[in-house]
Amino acid sequence: MRRSLSTPMPSSMGFAAARCLCAAAVVLSSATVHAQCVPDWFHAASGGPSVRSYAGLAYDGSDQLTILYGGANGNTLRSDVWTWDGVAWMQRSVSGGAGARRAMAMAYHAASDRTVVFGGVTAGGINGETWLWGGTSWSQTAIGETAPAPRGFDAMVGDTGNGVCVLFGGWSGGFTYWGDTWVWDGTVWTDVTPGTSPPARAFHALAYDSRRSRVVLFGGLRISGSTTTYYADTWEWNGASWTDVTPPTSPDPRGYHALAYDAYRGRVVLFGGFSFDHGSFNDTWEWDGAAWTQQFPAAAPSLRQNHAIAYDAARRRSVLFGGQLNNTTYNDTWTLGGDSPCDANCDGSVNGFDVDEFVAALSGSGSGCSPCQGDVNGDGSVNGFDIDGFLGCLGAP
């Protein structure tokens, strides 16, 4: 029987007891060894929306649909809206319109139940409009009010912990790159740029780690004169400040990639991108809040950049659409998912009911219901090094 995600977490006293129980299990037994826990890519569809790159993609948690908007095939801009229900794409009948555009920032604002679009590139050039999609129609907002400067190739993500969408960076033409941070609260934009920020850039990506309440930024690029700088840094935003958390091992420097946060597995997923030194990528990496780990699924989307990814929480899969490689533009749909090592009892949720089974896995007597049961740090074994990560999944301080 699947338990609800709303099942209460242990109290602080419960966390202490769970920590002691886990430690005792480690003392009493050696590590349980697993095969490496690797997520899987699945080629879910070919077709639906036409071929395109630089499209907007966001997950509507209320309707449990992934929303695709706009993009371009070469110089042909798109204005259509599609939804993905985990099985098939459906084109939506649109009332009003944000018009055709590409390379805009797009994210779902849960508190107002609206998908927010900012900026991008239209037939008229770099844009600075704010549009809201409500499921059946578009509405423009923030007209004549304080807002980010017109830009494209920026990034935005919904921060559900603070009830806002967070926007960072972008490009306004020439050598004008932005390093500012803005938040949208459902009504107005506010510039919250702190004293310390990531260097100005565009073609980067953001994801929101809801378990740790952090916005994660990776990569991007900036051109100055004849010099192009590709970044491989990782930054986190806590709602008030940016912190450079770049670890010793990271994905190669790149831009034109995509990020999504897999809430079930507690990982930020990175796929693809491009740099002049390497060319296009089709590698898969995951960030757990402390380290980047490259994953090697049996299958994966082809080399590409300028694709889009969003996490489908209802189906526990990251959804990837489109992109391009050189002059070839795609309209394939891939999904990525896997077991959560924190879901020790394999009931489809991570909560206090997993403690007993995790302790059993530590002592070598787990049910083995998942190939990565209890291996929270992904090192191929269940041992004392997994305890803090497991308790973190439960929300322990």
CATH number at residue 233: 2.120.10.80
| Same domain for 65 and 213 | yes
Q: Does any domain span residue 347?
A: yes
On whether the CB atoms of residues 260 and 287 are closer than 8 A, the answer is: no
Average pLDDT rounded to a whole number, residues 269-290: 97
How many Å apart are CA 117 and CA 88, to the nearest integer? 23
**pLDDT at residue 2 is higher than 70:** no
Q: Which has the closest alpha carbon to 286: 306, 323, 313, 311?
A: 311
The DSSP call for residue 241 is: -
Please identify, among 281, 299, 329, the residue that sits at the C-terminal boundary of a domain.
329
Using the predicted structure, report yes or no on whether residue 390 has a pLDDT greater than 70.
Answer: yes
Given a contact cutoff of 8 angstroms between Cβ atoms, the answer to whether 374 and 344 are in contact is yes
Query: Does 3 fall in a domain?
Result: no
Q: Tell me: pLDDT of 223 over 50.
A: yes
72 and 121 in a single domain? The answer is: yes
Do both 307 and 355 map to the same domain? Answer: no
pLDDT single digits (tens) 303-357: 999 999 999 999 999 999 999 999 999 999 999 998 788 888 888 888 889 999 9
Whether the per-residue pLDDT at 188 is higher than 50: the answer is: yes
Range of the domain at 313: 51-329
Residue 266 has pLDDT above 50, yes or no: yes
Last residue of a domain, one of 309, 329, 349: 329
Query: pTM for this one?
Result: 0.87
Same domain, 379 and 317: no
What order do you get walking across the sheet with 205-209 strand by strand? 205-209, 214-218, 234-237, 242-244
Identify whether residues 78 and 172 lie together within a single domain: yes
Report the number of distinct structural domains present in the chain. Answer: 2
Residue 363 belongs to some domain of the structure: yes
Averaged pLDDT of the chain: 90
Name the DSSP letter for residue 255: B
- 4 near 389, Cβ under 8 Å? no
313 and 352 assigned to the same domain: no
Q: State how far the Cα of 292 lies from the Cα of 322, in Å rounded to an integer.
A: 25
Report, as an integer, the average pLDDT of 173-189.
97
Longest pairwise C-alpha distance within the chain: 69
Q: What's the pLDDT tens digit per position in 375-384?
A: 887 777 888 8
Alpha carbons 201 and 198: distance in angstroms, whole number: 8
Q: Which residues contact 284 (CB under 8 A, 6 or more apart)?
A: 39, 41, 269, 270, 271, 294, 295, 296, 297, 300, 336
3-state secondary structure of 222: strand
| 22 band by pLDDT with thresholds 50, 70 and 90 | low
| Domain boundary, last residue among 280, 295, 329 | 329
| C-alpha span between 216 and 209 (Å, rounded) | 7
pLDDT on residue 14: 64
